[in-house]
Amino acid sequence: TGGAGSTSWADSANWASGTPSAGQDARIGSSLYNPTSFPLVTSGQSFTVNDLWVGYDGIGSLSLERGGTLTASRLGYIGYLSGGVGLVTVDGSTTLLAIEDDLTLGYAGVGELTITGGALVDSNQYGLLGVQAGSSGHIIIDGARSQLDTANSLSVGVGGNGIVTLTNGGLIATGGNVFIGENSGSHGGVSLSGTGSRWSIGGNLFVGHSGYGELTLANNAQMIMGGRAYIGFNAGSRGEMTVAG
């Protein structure tokens, strides 16, 4: 983005090379341009891009609301390179952010995704939070039917720091395994709280796979898995699980 002052995704003046089309990447938050305004996808709007980058190597922000839809036909990155800070908010009962490949928060930078008001974020492959050492990825899901889906595994803290906060009836559905603190040197923290808050896992749960993992279930929140649960899996790992209420 170049940042012309408008918040409309469709405003070509906001983009260095015009509004990206279905075959083009969308890069929001590049140090080359240092934008002062960021795009909004709202009611009646639907856009498709190739790769989506929010916080490439600078500060970037993206908001979806009131039934707006954005699809990335390949990868989605929130907080990509070191120095990149990406903030994405998805709000509203028919609002959708769809990533056809992997969704990554904090590859080498800092990424935060907030899902509220019954919105849906869907990844057709893997979810990765805090990939490289020093990176950080955080997902916040709050409110009834607010949901994150990943068709394959979800890793909270791959090699860096990952956090998932699920509250007040929010939902997560993961088709594969869930890793909380996947690799050595990583840290993953997951907190589920509130009646109706539920994480459904198709495979196994690893709390501390080779890193440090923490899991808290409170106030009638649920975690349901099709496989097994492991607390502290590999040598040198650390896993902690707390159930309260």
Cβ-contact 155, 125 below 8 angstroms: no
Using DSSP, state whether 189 is helix, strand or coil.
Answer: strand
> β-pairing, 110-116 with 85-91?
parallel
Which residue carries 């070191």 as its tokens? 82
Looking at residue 33, its pLDDT comes to: 67
pTM for the model stands at: 0.96
Looking at residue 5, its pLDDT comes to: 56
Task: For residue range 44-94, list pLDDT tens digits in order.
Answer: 999 999 999 999 999 999 999 999 999 999 999 999 999 999 999 999 999
Question: What is the rounded CA–CA span in Å between residue 91 and residue 142?
Answer: 10
Instruction: Please say if the pLDDT value at position 2 is more than 60.
Output: no
Instruction: Please say if the pLDDT value at position 108 is more than 80.
Output: yes
Task: For residue range 140-170, list pLDDT tens digits in order.
Answer: 999 999 999 999 999 999 999 999 999 999 9
